[in-house]
């Protein structure tokens, strides 16, 4: 019988230390392409076998590692050039906008729904969202879905 819920969200405070160390090794390897798995595991203090045993089973909630696309909802001030600023920022981050849906502006706010391909980005999804949130005219931003 197939398990109904194969994934769980767990607070990091209750995770065994080995899982947190696996995430640290993955971060090291992602940030330093010259580093070997052996060097990274030695630096963090776990065995290579532990790393390989758990590397495909744990990942940060907002950075699944294999995420290909996100769908975001943006509340944007209804002014000329604001949507262009958002799209240019995404392009500069290496993201690819797959779909755009915009509702008619109400009370000076346009609600934009974007699906963004994230596989080729030169920054994390968290950094992308933080940067978008700091753009002039962006009032609110939230992730609706991850694929």
Domains identified in the chain and CATH numbers: 12-54 (no CATH), 69-146 (3.30.70.260)
For 51-99, write each residue's pLDDT tens digit: 999 988 887 665 544 558 899 999 999 999 999 999 999 999 999 999 9
For residues 141 and 74, the answer to whether their CB atoms sit within 8 Å is: yes
75 pairs with which residues across the strands?
111, 140
Q: What are 122-132's pLDDT values in tens digits?
A: 998 889 999 99
Please give the distance of CA 26 from its chain centroid, rounded to a whole number.
Answer: 15
Q: What is the pTM of this model?
A: 0.55
11: confidence class by pLDDT, cuts 50, 70, 90: confident
pLDDT tens, residue by residue, 38-53: 999 999 999 999 999 9
User: What is the helix (H) or strand (E) element at residue 112, kind and residue range?
Assistant: strand 109-117
The two structure tokens encoding residue 93: 């981050």
What's the confidence (pLDDT) of residue 65?
Answer: 47
Instruction: Please check whether residue 68 is in contact with residue 97, taking contact to mean a CB–CB distance below 8 angstroms.
Output: no
- Tell me 106's DSSP state: B
């Amino acid at each position: 019988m197939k398990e109904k819920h194969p994934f769980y969200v767990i607070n990091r405070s209750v995770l065994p230390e080995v899982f947190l160390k696996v995430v640290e090794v993955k971060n090291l390897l992602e940030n330093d392409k010259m580093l070997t798995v052996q060097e990274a595991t030695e630096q963090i203090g776990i065995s290579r076998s532990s790393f390989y045993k758990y590397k495909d089973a744990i990942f940060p909630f907002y950075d699944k590692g294999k995420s290909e696309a996100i769908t975001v909802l943006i509340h944007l001030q209804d002014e000329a050039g604001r949507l262009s600023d958002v799209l240019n920022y995404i392009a500069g981050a290496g993201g690819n906008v797959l779909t755009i849906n915009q509702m008619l502006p109400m009370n000076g706010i346009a609600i934009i729904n974007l699906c963004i391909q994230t596989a080729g980005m030169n920054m994390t999804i968290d950094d992308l969202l933080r940067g978008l949130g700091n753009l002039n005219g962006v009032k609110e931003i939230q992730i609706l879905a991850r694929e």
